[in-house]
Chain A
Amino acid sequence: MERTLRDWRAITVFVGPALLLFVVILVVPIVWSLGYTLTEGSVIAGFHFVGLSNYVRLAQDPAFWSALWFSVKYAVLVSAGQVFFGLMLALLYSFYLKRSSVLVRTLVFLPVVLPTVAVAQLFVKLFAIAPQYGFLNSFLHAVHLDDLVQPWLGQGGSAFWVIVVMDVWKAMGLYAVLLYTGLMDIPEDTLEAARLDGAHGWKLTQFIILPLLTPVIVTSLIFSLNGTLKVFDSVLALTGGGPGTSTTPLTLYMYKTSFSYSQYGYGSTIAVALTLLCMIVSLIIIRRSREN
């Protein structure tokens, strides 16, 4: 028995291929990328060593700071939105629709699996102004609010909100199911006892359900932040980062620096900053939730 399960040849056969591919395609490039941050150039032009100057440039680059600010602002708002609406939906499923919520759950979850590029094209048409009014502008026109008709995606401010609305719309069904599962794990006796003590509706939610659901909410937030900090497809397909650079997150700034301007060194430096940001966020939230 022992010998069969300790057979190193078999272990190599089972784990070897996956480990090899993973190391070559992911682990080596991570180290390689760190090396790139100390150089200047590209695969075509060749590389030369420049020390820490990319990091100095990063610290002084206003475009980097505005991309960072966009990423953080977007991630916080979208994660909060996804989890908040997910929670509202989960409460709706479990306390109003009860067991018959399967159909609603399934339909609200549908946008989760749709390709982001396709959803973005749909939202472009919802918010369009030219060559003709899209859905929202047509509606505003129909109810005689023509003052409000505007190029929603052509202005940095409103374009930001279109991206936020789209990504909340797309993912809230996932968090609804996640939190609904958490709600289902709360023992019925606990709720019954609270009801006997006179807790109903909002009070029951506030004092019994939310505290018990906190671990699931924290998990959802971590998962959501982890995804939203890496936002790329939504922005590229909706606004391309524009108008100007007003809706450019770190991911897109890194992409343009690397592939439009062929600056591998500086592109890698931005990528390192993004990776650190993702890790810091995860670690902070995990520690906070442990303290609680």
Chain B
Amino acid sequence: MTRIAPAPLAERSGRPHPLAERLQSVPLFVIVALVLVVTVYPLVWMLLSSFKTADEFSGGVIWALPRTFSFDNFVRAWTVGKMNLYFVNSLLSVIPSLALVILMGVGAAFGLEIMRWRLKTSVSLLFLLGIMIPIQMVLLPLFTMYFRAHLLDTRWALILTYTAFGLPTTIFFLTGYFRNFAREIIEAAVVDGATIYQVFWKVVLPMVMNSVVTVALVQFFFMWNDLLVSLTFINNPDLRTIQAGLLNFAGQYGQREWGPTFASVTLAVAPTVIVYLLLNQKIMKGLTAGAVKG
């Protein structure tokens, strides 16, 4: 990355960039349409393909519309493909992890930013270290630990890992928020005789609820979309989470059975798409804020 220095005047009055000129003559709506097609069409194609029968795949054109809107593929993905089971498994590991990471994260951020103690900078830096470390670095010792504690092939292995790995970003995001927090309010509450716990529960928590929701959304996507952790610690097919299950299903049937595969992929993306469509502005803000600070 070299910074572009202001060029001398002679150069500035040089000829315009040929590509830029050509780009400016393309009608704007063509560019926007192209962007939308590239982004959205693959997903539309996926959804439409979920309704196609085997004959339509082998005999028809790949981008033709489905002849009927039958849900057979979805039913097969849901039952034969065990997507129903994987959904439940994912929920049962993601929801407790989310609750834990939020509870611990808000508490830690409050303790690190509002409370006064000597080692708080060092502890903050320690948490920060967690953002830089690739998960591969701790996979093997964790595997050994869970093996010895008989936690392999249990949801606890996932919950502990998701929660610990969610903490650094959660704490980082929330300490940033607490930094701009009106301390006068806390001081006023303390002067009024509230204990620190009352301040936390009754004053601080309601005020940061908005940020907590944003953080929870970001963490939800990380956990729900995880593959590596669940692949490593879960061997039992009946405990697989949705991503590991999908990988397996697509590997087994994906070659031959296109319809059910498309349906299972559609099912796997459905929750994230629904959550996103409902709360997109918040999610965009949350994910990009993480990038700015990370």
Contact = CB atoms under 8 A, between A and B. Distances in A.
B180 interface: no
Contacts of B28: 96
A258 B49 CA distance: 38
Given A21-B167, A30-B138, A116 B227 contact: yes
Interface stretch (A12-20, A54-62, A144-152): A12-20
Nearest to A34: B137
A107 B40 contact: yes
Interface string A156-176: 000000000000010001100
A70 interface: no
A75 B126 CA distance: 27
B171 interface: yes
Contacts of A118: 243, 246, 265, 268-269
Nearest to A96: B28
B247 interface: yes
A289 B40 CA distance: 35
Interface string B124-140: 00110110111111111
Contact of B164 (A22, A206, A268, A279): A22
Which bucket holds chain A's interface residue count?
35 or more
A104 B197 CA distance: 45
B277 to A, nearest CB: 8
Interface string B86-127: 000000000000000000110110111011110000010011
Interface SS, A side: helix
A12 B239 CA distance: 35
A103 to B, nearest CB: 9
A237 B247 contact: yes
A121 B261 contact: yes
B46 A122 contact: yes
Contacts of B145: 29
Given A15-B107, A109-B284, A10 B276 contact: no
Nearest to A97: B32
Contacts of B228: 232-233, 255
B200 to A, nearest CB: 7
Contacts of B10: none
B200 A264 contact: no
Give the interface centre of B107, B112, B130, B139 by most chain A CB atoms within 10 Å: B139
Contact of A29 (B20, B36, B134, B141): B141
A271 B139 contact: yes
B16 A202 contact: yes
Contacts of A30: 133, 137-138
Contact of B1 (A29, A131, A135, A214): A214
9 contacts: A1-B191, A5-B196, A14-B115, A113-B272, A118-B246, A124-B250, A210-B4, A275-B134, A278-B134
Interface of A: 1-2, 4-8, 10-11, 13-15, 17-19, 21-22, 24-30, 32-33, 36, 43, 89, 92, 96-97, 104-119, 121-122, 124-126, 130-135, 138, 142, 169, 173-174, 177-178, 181, 201-203, 206-207, 210-211, 214, 217-223, 226, 229-230, 232-233, 236-237, 251, 254-255, 258-259, 264, 267-268, 270-272, 274-275, 278-279, 282, 285, 288-289, 292
